[in-house]
């Protein structure tokens, strides 16, 4: 098993290459080289996919923080309607 670590400024990518159990292409070194070549060939696509996913998560985090920073509290409205319900219950004679 070969474990390789690639690092960029904001992303660490581990590539784990395992040998197949039953495929023999003339020697283990050839299998390792083919698998390493395949992993390296798709590395830029993997990095792009991970970077896109990271950007989506960062945008989602920004949206969530913006939503939390809004001063739209509904506690005043909730209290108003709680009092209204209590008044209605009192007029109807509902005991809680």
62 pairs with which residues across the strands?
none
Residue of higher predicted confidence among 91 and 18: 91
Contact 17, 35 (CB under 8 A): yes
Report the distance separating Cα 88 and Cα 96, nearest Å: 12
Q: What confidence score (pLDDT) does residue 33 get?
A: 74
At residue 2, does pLDDT exceed 70?
no
pLDDT confidence tier of residue 1, bands split at 50, 70 and 90? very low
At residue 51, the 3 state secondary structure works out as helix
Contact 64, 36 (CB under 8 A): no
Report the distance separating Cα 14 and Cα 6, nearest Å: 6
pLDDT single digits (tens) 36-92 = 888 888 888 889 999 999 999 999 999 988 888 877 777 888 889 999 999 998 888
Residue of higher predicted confidence among 26 and 82: 82
Question: Any idea where the domains of the chain sit in the sequence?
Answer: 1-41, 44-96
């Amino acid at each position: 098993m070969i474990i390789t670590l690639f690092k960029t400024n904001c992303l660490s990518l581990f590539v784990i290459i395992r040998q197949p159990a039953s495929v023999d292409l003339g020697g283990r070194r050839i299998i390792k080289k083919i698998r390493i070549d395949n992993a390296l060939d798709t590395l830029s696509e993997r990095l792009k996919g991970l970077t896109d996913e990271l950007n989506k998560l960062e945008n989602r985090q920004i949206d969530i923080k913006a939503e939390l920073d809004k001063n739209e509290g509904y506690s005043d409205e909730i209290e108003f309607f709680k009092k209204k319900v209590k008044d209605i219950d009192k007029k109807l004679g509902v005991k809680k």
